[in-house]
Amino acid sequence: MSAGLGPLRRPLRVVLQWQAIATVVLALAGGFLAGFDGALSAVCGGAVSIVAGAVSAVVAAMGRARSAGGVLIGALRAEAVKIGLIAILLWLVLATYDQVVPLALFGSFLVTVLIFMMAFFVREQD
């Protein structure tokens, strides 16, 4: 997956690691506060954001833009994929998981979305 990501490779890897750590921490908190369902809801919320962000990055990297307009179209396409995938995955969780804990699900989701936005600040060089 990371071979075609070019300059996105390190920022994406770092942000996905941060998201995974935050998801684990929030799952532990959700488990402590609401039991197994709270933990699983937090994992589902984090997973929605992680999967959507990773797929979006892959879609963005697949674009072979040769102009500024092409770059913009590629970025908009990646964002549309991300938003659509988020909507589908959240619907899937809410429709299939009867014991979902909404606060844990949406809390974990929002925290991991905010973390994904921090990829802008991660430099490519180590």
Question: Under a CB-based contact definition with an 8 Å cutoff, are residues 11 and 108 in contact?
Answer: no
**pTM for the structure as a whole:** 0.85
Collect all residues with Cβ–Cβ distance below 8 Å to 24 and sequence separation of at least 6: none
The pLDDT value recorded for residue 68 is 82
Q: What is the pLDDT along the chain (126 residues), one digit of tens a residue?
A: 444 555 557 788 888 999 999 999 999 999 999 999 999 999 999 999 999 999 998 888 887 777 888 888 888 999 999 999 999 999 999 999 999 999 999 999 999 999 988 877 776 665
Q: How far apart are CA 63 and CA 86, in angstroms?
A: 21
Cβ of 12: how many Cβ atoms within 10 Å?
23
**Residue 2 token pair:** 């990371």
Q: How far apart are CA 125 and CA 107, in angstroms?
A: 32
The pLDDT value recorded for residue 107 is 97
